[in-house]
Amino acid sequence: MFRKFALTLITLAVLLSACAPSAAPTAAPASTTAPKVEPTTAPAPTAEPTVAPTTAPTDESITLIDGLKREVKLAKPAQRIISIAPSNTELLFAVGAGAQLIGRDDLSDFPAEAKAIENIGSAFGKLNTEAIVALKPDLILAAEINAPEQVKTLEDLGLTVYWLANPLDFAGLSENLKIVGQLAGRTAEAEQVSQSIEARYQAVIEKVATSSKKPTVFYEIDATDPTKPYTTGPGTFIDKLIDLAGGYNIGQALKDQFAQISSEELVKVNPDMIVLGDSAYGVTAESIAQRAGWDKLSAVKNGAVYTFDDNLASRPGPRLIDGLEAFAKLFHPELFK
C-alpha cells in the first residue's frame, strides 16, 4: 500500500494550489459487525476518452518548451514514442497515438492495450536504458513523477525527452492533450478529446450548481496505519475534484497536501461520506467498520462508505473527467437519475 501512497504523493503534490482499468466505483461488502453496513454502489465512470486516429500524422517540425523550461525540437511529429509515466500513456492513447507507442513504464496499465507494449522499467526505480536505446525512440515522454535526473540520464544517451508538467486544472489538462497531440501529430484528435472533456465538465458543473447540499467527504489514500490513515489535504487535484463535484473535503482543514488524520479527529469531524481510494489494496467498508471507534461514524452507520478507483483522481491524465463525474454522481445521485 505504501507504493500506492508514494505514487499519489509524487504525482499530486505539485498540482493546483492545488495506472488500472477504468472500473466503476463499486460497493464495499457489508459489515458483519454492528452496525451493519449495507452494500452501496458508487456510480460508474463513463467510457474512457480514447479516440481512434482520424488523420495521418502531419510532417512538420516542432519546437516546444517543456515543463522543465527546456527547448525540445522534433524534425517531425514523433512516430516511435516511449512513455515513462502512466498519465502520459493514457494521454497518448486518448489522442489516437497508441500505435506510435513502442515502450512504456511498468505502471502504464491503461488502456488494456498498453499492457502489450514493451515494459522498459520503473519511473520510480530503474529504467532499462539498454532496452530504451535499442527501441530507437524519436521521443520519450516524461512527467512529474520522473525526476529531472532521469531526464538528464536519457538525454546523455542522445535521446529526445519532453517533460510534461502536471495540469493545475481542467484547462491545463486540455493544454496537455494538445501538447501531446502536437508532439505525436494528432492535433485534430487532441482537439476533439479536449472539446469532449470540456462539454462533460460543464455538464457536471451546471448540474451540481442546482443543489444546495454539500456533503462532507473523507477520502482515504493509505491506511497502512488504520489508526492514522493518510488523506488528501488542500491544494491537490483530488481536493479540487471533490469541491467541483459538490462535496467538501474534510482534509482542507489540514496543513499539508497529504497528511495523516487520527481516528479520534475523524470521529470529531464525522464526515457524511467515506470514499476509499485505497480499495485496490483490500480496504472495504467491512474492514473500516472494524477499526476502533469507526463504528460511531455516521458514514459507517448509514452505509455511506464507497470504494473508488483512485486512478480516476490521482493520475493527471484524460480520466480525470471520469473522476469528476463519478464524484458528482456519488455526492448528488438525485441529479443524475
Strand pairing category for 216-222 and 273-276: parallel
**What is the number of other CB atoms lying within 10 angstroms of the CB of residue 232?**
33
State whether residue 160 is helix, strand or coil: coil
Rounded CA gap, 183 and 101, in Å? 12
Q: What SS3 string covers 33-91?
A: CCCCCCCCCCCCCCCCCCCCCCCCCCCCCEEEECCCCCEEEECCCCCCEEECCHHHHHH
Mean pLDDT of the chain, nearest integer: 86
Q: What is the amino acid identity at position 12?
A: L
pLDDT at 325: 98
Instruction: Enumerate the H helices of 83-126 as residue ranges.
Output: 86-94
Residue 59: pLDDT band (50, 70, 90) is low
pLDDT at 193: 98
**CB of 304 within 8 A of CB of 40?**
yes
Cell of 255: 496543513
- Which range among 10-24, 107-121, 230-244 shows the weakest confidence by mean pLDDT? 10-24
Rounded CA gap, 137 and 82, in Å? 6
CATH topology of 2-47+210-335 equal to that of 62-185?
Answer: yes
**Residue boundaries of the structural domains of the chain:** 2-47+210-335, 62-185
Q: Is the pTM of this model over 0.75?
A: yes
What is the CATH code of the structural domain delimited by 62-185?
A: 3.40.50.1980
Collect all residues with Cβ–Cβ distance below 8 Å to 147 and sequence separation of at least 6.
none
Mean pLDDT of 61-67: 96
What is the CATH code of the structural domain delimited by 2-47+210-335?
A: 3.40.50.1980
